[in-house]
């Protein structure tokens, strides 16, 4: 019996020694993954709490993610469960090309008590599993640009290259009436000139000064017409375009334009000329803005 207690005591001493040797007072937890997406796009994706709540929530461990602060390519994320609050840091590293290295880390205080160290170690293992789960989902999601940008952005070429155009200056953002007033002028001139209209009207809105915007409207026709007054013929140079299609009102179109500009910046492309919106739906005939369909084209190289 005495020998049993001696062996038991030795076992406990060795076990406690192992705890102190192999489990430090502060346990560093980290996870790393490489995703096939530009760093800028990944940064916008992960610094949005809706992304965490709706798309990245793992099936285990922590039930709440809160972004406490964010700086360039770094996001501080607080993980919360019923009994735990863990401060973590997500760092994005740009290795070159169109990929991003994501390094997620935190530190878990284990204390001096051997039992608290064991509990802290188990918690660290749980956090590590949680991080791996989130980063795996993040890799899958960012592999498809539509998940990041919310738009199906694709490459295309110019189809309608012979146009007639007209522009005007306004002290307000163009209304549907403003746009179609110019469309009607182009329609009338095309018919008067014996030209066939080969596609839907398109428009661009550009800020000029603080309280002034320029509205330009164009109409594709089957032949190059003569200039008359404010109506100018345009021969568009065929080139590369990024395009997308959206359904909704003018606010939706403006958001899509901003998103496409982010896409261009993220992918180190350059806009060759002004973008334009292609009116698939006749907005005058359809009062329900949710049914408006608009294609957006951005010339790039």
- State the sign of the Cα–Cα–Cα–Cα dihedral 43, 47, 49, 50: negative
Q: How far, in Å, CA of 214 to CA of 43, rounded?
A: 33
* Whether domain 25-147 has CATH 3.30.530.20: yes
What the block records as the tokens of 61 is 């461990």
Q: Partners of 94 in the beta sheet?
A: none
For residues 75-91, average pLDDT: 87
In this structure, what DSSP letter does residue 231 have? B
pLDDT, tens digit (0-9, with 9 covering 90-100), for 198-243:
999 999 999 998 889 999 999 999 999 999 999 999 988 777 899 9
Give per-residue pLDDT as tens, 112-138: 677 777 787 888 888 899 899 899 999
Query: How would DSSP label each residue in 28-78?
Result: EEEEEEEESS-HHHHHHHHT-HHHIIIII--SSS--EEEEEEEETTEEEEE
The pLDDT value given to residue 2: 62
pLDDT tens across 153-186, in order? Answer: 999 987 788 999 999 999 999 999 999 999 999 9
Angle between the 114-142 and 39-46 helix axes, to the nearest 10 degrees? 120
The pLDDT, as a whole number, for residue 277 is: 96
Question: Which region among 3-12, 138-147, 280-289 has the lowest average model confidence (pLDDT)?
Answer: 3-12
* Domain regions of the chain by residue span: 25-147, 154-299
The Cα–Cα gap between 246 and 294 comes to: 6
Q: In the predicted model, what is the mean pLDDT of the chain?
A: 88
pTM of the entire structure?
Answer: 0.82
Joined together, the tokens standing for residue 41 give: 């796009």
DSSP 288: -
What percent of the chain has a predicted confidence (pLDDT) above 90?
60
Count the neighbouring beta carbons within 10 Å of the beta carbon of residue 96. Answer: 5
- C-alpha radius of gyration, the chain, whole number: 29
Question: What is residue 6's predicted lDDT score, i.e. its pLDDT?
Answer: 63
Which pLDDT band, with edges at 50, 70 and 90, does 255 fall under? very high
Q: Are strands 293-299 and 100-109 parallel, antiparallel or unpaired?
A: unpaired
Of the listed ranges 147-161, 240-254, 279-293, the least confidently predicted one is 147-161
pLDDT digits (tens, 9 = 90+) for 8-42: 555 555 555 555 555 667 789 999 999 999 999 99
Q: Would you identify the CATH topology of the domain 154-299?
A: Multidrug-efflux Transporter 1 Regulator Bmrr; Chain A (3.20.80)
pLDDT, position 8: 54
């Amino acid at each position: 019996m005495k020998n049993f207690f001696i062996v038991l005591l030795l076992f406990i001493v060795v076990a406690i020694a192992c705890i102190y040797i192999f489990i430090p007072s502060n346990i560093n937890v980290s996870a790393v993954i490489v995703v096939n997406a530009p760093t800028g796009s990944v940064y916008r994706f992960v610094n949005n709490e809706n992304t965490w709540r709706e798309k990245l929530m793992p099936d285990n461990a922590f039930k709440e993610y809160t972004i406490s602060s964010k700086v360039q390519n770094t996001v501080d994320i607080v993980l919360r469960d019923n009994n735990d609050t863990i401060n973590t840091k997500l760092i994005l590293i740009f290795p070159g090309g169109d990929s991003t290295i994501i390094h997620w880390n935190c530190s878990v205080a284990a204390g001096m008590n051997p039992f608290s160290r064991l509990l802290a170690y188990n918690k660290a293992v749980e956090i590590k599993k949680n991080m791996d789960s989130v980063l795996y989902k993040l890799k899958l999601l960012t592999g498809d640009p539509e998940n990041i940008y919310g738009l199906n952005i694709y490459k295309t070429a110019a189809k309608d290259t012979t146009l007639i155009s007209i522009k005007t200056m306004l002290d307000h953002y163009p209304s549907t009436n403003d746009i179609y007033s110019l469309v009607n002028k182009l329609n009338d001139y095309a018919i008067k000139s014996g030209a066939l209209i080969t596609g839907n009207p398109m428009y661009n809105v550009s800020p000029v000064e603080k309280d002034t915007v320029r509205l330009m409207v164009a109409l594709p026709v089957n032949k190059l017409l003569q200039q008359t007054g404010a109506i100018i013929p345009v021969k568009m140079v065929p080139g590369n375009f990024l395009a997308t299609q959206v359904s909704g009102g003018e606010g939706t179109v403006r958001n899509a334009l901003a998103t496409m500009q982010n896409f261009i910046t993220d992918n180190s492309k350059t806009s060759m000329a002004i973008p334009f919106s292609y009116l698939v739906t006749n907005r005058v005939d359809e009062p329900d803005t949710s049914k408006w369909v608009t294609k957006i084209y951005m010339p790039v190289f």
